[in-house]
Amino acid sequence: MNSFNKKAIFKLSLFPLIALAVILVTPLPLYFFLKFAYFYYMPLIVFLAGFAVIFIGAWSGFGAKGYVSNVIKAGMNFDADDLNYIYKQQLILTLIYAGIGILYMFIGYLLFLV
């Protein structure tokens, strides 16, 4: 009963990873057209995006508010165990987002070195 839903965690973790891929891939046409000015700022942009991901992970409820409201509307039981479970799931996602944020920063640093 208390096992974590890995599929849902994976789906929610995918958003910042896709965003990272988009940030890295979209400037490629500029590279092919020899417009290198953007690449001067790109490491900083990726680094700052890492901060944004960490903040999103920290502040987002990941839909918990809507879920709790649906549970109450549906008249389902909701007790302290449910609340703990929600907190744990949110904590895991916050940590994952923090990890992804650090990944952003690391990639930004690598780009800076390159």
Partner 1 sequence: MADAYSNKVLSIENLTVSFDTYKGTVHALRNVNLELYQGEILGILGESGSGKSTIAMSIMSLLAENARIEGNISYMGEDYITAETINKSRSKRGKKILDERLRNIRWKGISMVFQGAMNSFNPVYTIGKQIKEVYKIHTTLSDEEIHGKMLETLKYAGLNPTVLERYPHELSGGMKQRAVIAMALALEPSVVIADEPTTGLDVITQAEIISQLKELKRQNIIKTMIIISHDIGVISQLADNMAILYAGTIMEYGNSRDIYTNSKNPYTVKLLSSYPSIRNAKKYVEGIPGSLPDPIDPPKGCRFAPRCYLAKGRCTESEPELIPLGNGHFSACFFTDEIVSDKEAQNKDIRKAEIHDENIIETKELTKYFDLKSSIAGSLFSRDTKFVRAVDHINMEIKRGEILGVVGESGSGKTTFGRTLLKLYEPTSGSIIYKLEGKEIDVAKIGENKKESKETYMEFRKNIQMIFQDPYDSLNPKMTIFDIVSEPILAHKLTKPIDENVSLMQSDDGNEKTKERRLSPSEITDMVREAMIKANIKPPENYFYRYPHELSGGERQRVATARALVLKTKFIVADEPTSMLDVSSRAGFMNMLKSIRMDDKLSVLYISHDIASTYYLSDRIMVMYLGIAVELGKAEDVINRPLHPYTKALIKAVPTPSVDWNPGEIGIIGEIGNAIDVPKGCRFTKRCPYAVEECGVNPPPLRDDGYGHWYLCHFTQDQLNQFKDSHRERFKTTDEQLQ
Residues near partner 1 (CB under 8 A) are 1-2, 5, 7-9, 11-12, 62-64, 66-68, 70-72, 74-76, 81-82, 85-86, 89, 93
CA distances in angstroms from 69 to 36, 39, 78, 108, listed in the order given: 50, 45, 11, 39
Listed residue (59, 61, 51) closest to 90, CA to CA: 61
Q: What's the min distance (Å) between Cβ of 61 and partner 1?
A: 9
Q: What's the min distance (Å) between Cβ of 6 and partner 1?
A: 10
CB closer to partner 1, 54 vs 96 = 96
Listed residue (111, 113, 90) closest to 38, CA to CA: 111
Question: How many residues are listed for the chain in this entry?
Answer: 114
CB closer to partner 1, 29 vs 75 = 75
